[in-house]
Structure 1
Amino acid sequence: MTLLYTEVEEELRASVRDLLADRCGPETVLRRIETDAPYDLELWKTLSRDIGVAGLLVPEEHGGAGASAREAAVVLEELGRAVAPVPFLTSAVLATRALLGTGETGLLQELAAGDVTAALVVPLAASPYRPLPGAVTAGADGTLRGRVRGVAGADVADVLLVPVGSELHLVEAGETRIEVLPSLDLTRPVATVTFDGAPARAAGPFDARAVLAFGAGLLASEQLGTAQWCLDATLAYIRERHQFARPIGSFQAIKHRMADLWLDVVRARAAARNAADRLAEEPASDEAVLAAAVAGSWCSEVALHVAEESVQLHGGIGMTWEHPVHLYLKRAKAGQVALGAPGAHRDALAALMDLPGPVD
């Protein structure tokens, strides 16, 4: 095991970062979230078809890159740094990971080619450690009925992957009613998906714990990217902002706060990289779930703390809509409860490591 980035991972990072710098700067994202189409689907097509990020986790025999969670984590770091409004987490990670456990190969090929976008119909706040609510049922004729709230990526998906018990069903998005809801994270809308006799096709078994733990472990890399941008942006600001004829970064109290934030981000990187490495080796193992729980519990809180400090240290400008730091704060806060809250991850850690429970 190594937490260092390989040469291939660094090349992938450079390609994604260059594209995002050109097409997804903070001003661009701010303008887009004020429209009715917060997702940048043209950017997503470029990422999918030119760089191949949509098929990173898809085996080569199905048209994908045959890469691992490590490479997907690098992409998520860069998307987190840019708060990029693209459905990589929902389609190329969660939906793809769910499909890999089935015998469905045709849809995998379409996802890898970037021709189709999919979404796993579970609440974004679903936990890997609790059973999913049985919100959708399948009739004798194969149609689905029910409603699932708080689904991320559904509004831009072509195909919906719907868990019904331990089975995964495929539904064309046009056969459902999708209502976009107000979301704290303006770059990742959530929606209520309603099935009212929607025709569906059974795809195969669905292991909710493995899929959601995989997503939580990789979400930590996105949170790392968010925290890293906030740290870098704050460092640049305190070097330029002057008070009493001195940069505010020269004040001892500011230095101490920045040092603490830097240490938090360094530890977050270690946790996120460990989770990505374990998920790349044995994604369904207890060791991988444990690493994902460590990363999920730590990185989500670090991202939020660094974003909050960034707003504070930016002073008045940090409180304005025109400065992009609020996008990172909202992404961090929404991500804190996505795919398991920090407390749920810590409880799972205690159980996985046979730690004693609280004393009555």
Structure 2
Amino acid sequence: MAPTFTEEHEQLRATLRRFLADKAPSEAVRRSMESTDGHDPALWRRMADELGLLGLALPEEYGGLGGGPVELGLVLEELGRALLPSPYFATVALAGQALVVSGDERAKARWLPAIADGSLTGTLAWAEESGSWHVEDVRAEAVPDRGGTRDRVSGTKMFVVDGRSADLVLVVARTTTGPRLFAVEGTAPGVTRTRLETLDPTRRLARIDLDGAPAQAVGPEDADAAAGYLRRVTDLAAVALAAEQAGGAQACLDAAVAYARVRVQFGRPVGSFQAVKHKCADTLVKVEAARSAAYHALSVAAADPPEWRERAAAAAVAAVCCADAYTHAAKENIQIHGGIGCTWEHDAHLHLRRAKSSEQLLGSPAAHRRRLAGLVGISAPEATKGRARGNP
């Protein structure tokens, strides 16, 4: 299964690519990543007002344009190509999708319109000290306050994308009946946010400490329904990240091929040497496979099959293929560029930093492979009990 891209889809892709080439070239990316905000607020406003990107994948009744995972994937693929520092992934792909599929009309009515018009940023806080995205490893707790009108959340969340600046933080926490999702205002009492020094300067991560922070439960209350909901949230997040990685991998391939055509050594372009040809060809195969896996996963997510394992398997395959392809393409891009590819002034290292960071963001490729093995029945349940760091 792969999406059938319409003329409108291709127009969206072309428009966004031109917009990013004009408004977010390499120089602008570097200014944004070194700024206090970590992104360009003026560009964020234009993405909302001129292109409608923030509401593209949100329902029309909440101020969106009625798109879904396929449209979101197209946007993320282009943002990945441009390596744009932006809260888009955290706000729309993580928090936005989590709210859309929550079935919680009160929560959707309260926050989705503000996400759609660009006045609210959000994120999803799941992983903790272990880095695991497995729901059983969540240790943060939520308890009702004395009046019983709201909950109080305590615990520590790590590696939260744009967690230091997000207006809304969706926190996964344990209750007496099982894990649930809770909405916490970023500036609420009991919330302490600390920026983490990380490998990737184009994507800000944070540590969030919660000490009795006031929170509103989001999503189904029933334990089984809540577990299914959280599982769907992680699958949608993995697919969105895969689309972004596919775009980054393509950018690395394009840069490597372009340089191989113009760099002359021994009186001929380096791209004419067989070793360089093989590198480019092998990278092309990986990038095409990654794009196919991402597009398939986007289609499955959009179709929302009744059997959750179909969606989960597609997400796991996309996560593995796209992470591997991006890291491979980023490394080969540096190799083909030679010495200049290792300098701070060249963008090749920025893609490698993003590739390695994204590779671990929602669970490592090895963890996704283990999950896929369990989903298709080629590993015994006992084999999954000893989960490694980062297992989804």
TM-score of the superposed pair, with normalisation by structure 2:
0.87
Q: Any conservation in 2 of the 1:296–1:342 contact (CA below 8 Å)?
A: yes
Structure 1 portions without partners, runs of 5+: none
Shift of 1:123: 2.9
Show CA shifts across 1:173-213 (max 9, x none). Answer: 11221110101111111111112232222333353221011
Which residue, out of 180, 197, 202, partners 1:167? Answer: 180
Show CA shifts across 1:31-72 (max 9, x none). Answer: 332333322222222112221221222211111111110110
Which residue, out of 109, 115, 121, partners 2:119? Answer: 115
Q: Which residue pairs with 1:201 in the alignment?
A: 216
Q: Which moved more, 1:178-187 or 1:121-130?
A: 121-130
**Aligned to 2:208, what secondary structure does the other structure show?**
strand
**Aligned to 2:377, what secondary structure does the other structure show?**
coil
- Tell me: CA distance 1:62–1:226, structure 2 relative to 1, closer, same or farther (3 Å): same
Q: Any conservation in 1 of the 2:3–2:70 contact (CA below 8 Å)?
A: no
Report the residue type matching 2:155 in the other structure: G
Equivalence map 1:44-63=2 (5 Å): 44-63=44-63
Equivalence map 1:300-311=2 (5 Å): 300-311=323-334
State yes or no: 1:150 paired with 2:159: yes
Q: Any conservation in 2 of the 1:210–1:283 contact (CA below 8 Å)?
A: no
Q: Any conservation in 2 of the 1:268–1:298 contact (CA below 8 Å)?
A: yes
Q: Any conservation in 1 of the 2:180–2:230 contact (CA below 8 Å)?
A: no
Report the residue type matching 1:30 in the other structure: R
- Tell me: CA distance 1:283–1:322, structure 2 relative to 1, closer, same or farther (3 Å): farther
Equivalence map 1:81-96=2 (5 Å): 81-96=81-96
Report the residue type matching 1:194 in the other structure: D
Q: Any conservation in 2 of the 1:16–1:47 contact (CA below 8 Å)?
A: no
Q: Distance in 1 between matches of 2:378 and 2:287?
A: 27
Q: Which residue pairs with 2:303 in the alignment?
A: 281
Q: Any conservation in 1 of the 2:164–2:206 contact (CA below 8 Å)?
A: yes
Which residue, out of 306, 319, 341, partners 2:342? Answer: 319
Q: Distance in 2 between matches of 1:182 and 1:64?
A: 34
Q: Which moved more, 1:92-101 or 1:25-34?
A: 25-34
Report the residue type matching 1:133 in the other structure: V
Q: Distance in 2 between matches of 1:344 and 1:209?
A: 15
RMSD across aligned positions (CA): 2.1
List structure 1 segments (4+ residues) > 4 angstroms apart after TM superposition. 124-130
Equivalence map 1:29-48=2 (5 Å): 29-48=29-48
State yes or no: 1:180 paired with 2:203: no
Report the residue type matching 2:34 in the other structure: E
Which residue, out of 221, 231, 240, partners 2:253? Answer: 231
Report the residue type matching 1:59 in the other structure: P
Q: Any conservation in 1 of the 2:195–2:206 contact (CA below 8 Å)?
A: yes
Q: Which residue pairs with 2:387 in the alignment?
A: none
**Aligned to 1:234, what secondary structure does the other structure show?**
helix
Shift of 1:243: 0.6
Q: Distance in 2 between matches of 1:107 and 1:335?
A: 27
Which residue, out of 264, 267, 270, partners 2:289? Answer: 267
Q: Distance in 2 between matches of 1:263 and 1:357?
A: 32
Q: Which residue pairs with 2:18 in the alignment?
A: 18
Q: Distance in 1 between matches of 2:24 and 2:251?
A: 14
Q: Distance in 2 between matches of 1:131 and 1:59?
A: 31
Q: Distance in 1 between matches of 2:24 and 2:331?
A: 23
Q: Which residue pairs with 2:72 in the alignment?
A: 72
Q: Distance in 2 between matches of 1:240 and 1:251?
A: 13
Identity of aligned residues (%): 41
Q: Distance in 2 between matches of 1:84 and 1:246?
A: 35
Q: Any conservation in 2 of the 1:136–1:148 contact (CA below 8 Å)?
A: no
- Tell me: CA distance 1:136–1:48, structure 2 relative to 1, closer, same or farther (3 Å): farther
State yes or no: 1:137 paired with 2:146: no
Q: Distance in 2 between matches of 1:130 and 1:195?
A: 18
